[in-house]
Amino acid sequence: KVNQWDLIRQPLFHIYWTECTDVDIYKTFLREDIENWLKELTAKDIQDWLIVVVENYDGKRANKLLPRTTVLDKIRADFAPKQGDRCISVINPGKLESRSADSWRGLVARIRHLLLVSYARAVSRLEDHVRQQRERRNEIGWDFMQYFQLQEELAQVLEMLGLNDEALVQYDELDALFSQFVVNGITSECVNWLHKFQKPLEKWHGLKLGPSKLTNNPSILELRAYLFAKQAHMLLLTNKVWEMAARCLPFLHTCTRELAILEISAPPGAVACWLFLASMEVLQTCDKFN
């Protein structure tokens, strides 16, 4: 499906709201509507949903006998006989304030729990897909930048969930994988995509440790700078400024070595200028967080 791995920008959890509390109206109209809604979710392989019934209690009738079977009971029986937590009722905030507040707190807790379940399922599926694509890296037609976007999506989701160490692991894996291809794969027919990074160096903008966006068809220095900036960002989020500084020199050595291996031509002094600017950026960032 299009954008099925775009976990940040696509809805993962869906809620159906209804104020219907009349069983006869439910049987006549509402049941079919809920059934169609669930069929649409199923067709899109969406498993995470919740049905909320908003009940409007009249204080003057609160002491009267309630019906034996409520609309909520019917919905549970028809659509979630083994998933009772997928259906919940709340009381209209304008009525019976204390009971209403308790019911809405319960709804918030239920949504929080089901959202975590939803994201855990989605992240697990994305991790499996990333692993499958990584195992295909030696097949003809495999492209590093397409794979890069996929694994970065996983890193961004993990960062959004506050799992910064796990997000850093994703960028470290991309770093190591690219180095492996440069060192071992330059003569292989399966890595034709690597030739895209052998174009002459025409731009050598300095390293930027901050919000950045990777350009289309980046040069090897642009890719390396972007990767290091992302790694640095994750380290700074966990207050590991010292580790970011310690990674700087190996990062610069990696860049110069890969430029040499790929035999990338550059104007005299361009690489030295880029290395100096990168070092100054790391130094200034360390001062800022000191």
Per-residue pLDDT of the chain (290 residues; tens, 9 = 90+): 545 666 767 788 999 999 998 999 999 999 999 999 999 999 988 889 999 999 886 655 555 555 678 999 999 999 999 888 899 999 887 656 777 888 999 999 999 999 999 888 889 999 999 999 999 998 888 999 999 999 999 999 999 989 999 999 999 999 999 999 998 865 566 678 888 898 898 887 888 998 888 888 899 999 999 999 999 999 999 999 999 999 999 999 999 999 999 999 999 999 999 999 999 999 999 999 87
Q: How far apart, in whole angstroms, are the C-alpha atoms of residue 196 and residue 38?
A: 46
Strand, helix or coil for residue 75: helix
Copy the structure tokens of residue 211: 């919000």
pLDDT at residue 185 in the model: 67
The whole-model pTM stands at 0.82
For 50, phi and psi rounded to 5 degrees? -150, 140
Strand, helix or coil for residue 185: coil
Q: How far apart, in whole angstroms, are the C-alpha atoms of residue 97 and residue 285?
A: 52
